[in-house]
Structure 1
Amino acid sequence: MLSLEEISDRLEIQQLMIDYSNAIDQKQFDDLDRVFTPDAYIDYRVTGGIDGRFPEVKAWLKEVLPNFPAYYHMLGNVDVRITGDTAASRTICFNPMVFNAEEKQILFVGIWYVDEFIRTAEGWRMNKRVEEKCFDKLL
């Protein structure tokens, strides 16, 4: 049986994943400062992106994502494992992205987010995100 503290921790971690998706989808990249630790490692290479520390990746997101006319994140199968003040999770993400508005091309991306979290004075923060490819298809 889960304790109230573990339920609370899980909900806070799941909210971080939602906050991440909302920040990206609404192009509010500064909101990511409340999701990641300042030294977080992020790896987007399986989808053609970069890997590096949070400040570098955040700058890259601000530059690249506005080139896509529309996109969204849908998360599911959230599996969170908490060990004291650290946690790990694996979450499926379906991420359709309008690739070329004139030709009405959409890139359908299915990835797994493999994340690590740490409890900080400000609450839980993500300190590692690695994407694992499930599928992609350009239509």
Structure 2
Amino acid sequence: MTMTVSQIRDEMADREAIRDCLMRYSRGIDRMDPEVLASAYWPGAMDYHTGFTGTVEQFIEWALPRLAAMEQAMHMIGNVLIRIDGDTAKVESYLWSVSVLPGDDARQVMVVGRYLDKFEKRNDEWRIAERLVVHDWFQEGPADNDWSAGPFGMTGLLRGTTVPKDASVDWLELRV
């Protein structure tokens, strides 16, 4: 299961393209950007994801309204293990997600798990062809973040939001 330096050197561009795809997924889901989110998957890709089973197109229709109902959402990707075999790759990526469900009884939900992805390379581009989400741990409790007080007592901070209003849209020149 270990890889040689030569194997990794020969795969560097492919590995970086796979990582870029993983980052696009996180950005697309957190900024609720259906175009960026779809760009992480091949059309018709299958997703088995936290109570959902279907194609990526169905997943986007299912996920975005649920995310829109949340006050905040953030997905982080940690350890990434990539095994490339020709034009396919098996990838395990650790995930950490935190969300706030608003309301009178606002709840904060943290989920830790892994994305088990089958990637395919087509026309010199890597995307997800199949995704299975494995849940390893979660924590749920009252949301105790008070933006009127701010972190460390600092108010008026620039807050993340969704496209097209998020500051990163202009910063990264994503909508030219």
Establish whether TM, by shorter chain, passes 0.5. Answer: yes
Could you say which residue in structure 1 is the equivalent of 2:99? 97
Measured in 1, the distance between the counterparts of 2:73 and 2:64 equals 14
The Cα shift of 1:100 comes to: 2.8
The whole-number CA distance in structure 2 between the counterparts of 1:92 and 1:36 is: 18
1 or 2, which has the higher strand percentage?
A: 1
Q: Could you tell me how far 1:5 is from its partner in structure 2? A: 4.2
TM-score for both structures, normalised by structure 1:
0.91
1:118 corresponds to? 120
1:121 Cα deviation from its structure 2 partner: 1.3
1:129 is matched with 131
- Residue identity (%): 26
Match of 2:162?
none
Q: Which amino acid aligns with 1:113?
A: Y
For 1:46-61, list aligned pairs within 5 A: 47=50, 49-61=51-63
Deviation at 1:34, TM superposition (A): 1.5
Q: Which residue of 2 aligns with 1:42?
A: 47
Uncovered stretches (5+) of structure 2, i.e. residues with no partner? 142-176
Question: Scaled by the length of structure 2, what TM-score is found?
Answer: 0.72
> Which residue in 1 is equivalent to 2:111?
109
Superposition CA RMSD, Å: 1.5
Q: Confirm whether residue 32 of structure 1 aligns to residue 34 of structure 2.
A: no
Q: Which has the higher contact order (CA 8 A, sep 6+)?
A: 1
Aligned pairs, number = 136
Distance 1:122-1:28 versus aligned 2 partners, 3 A rule? farther
Per-residue CA deviation, residues 67-124 of structure 1 (Å, 9 max, x unaligned), is: 1110101111100110000001111101011023543420010111000100011511
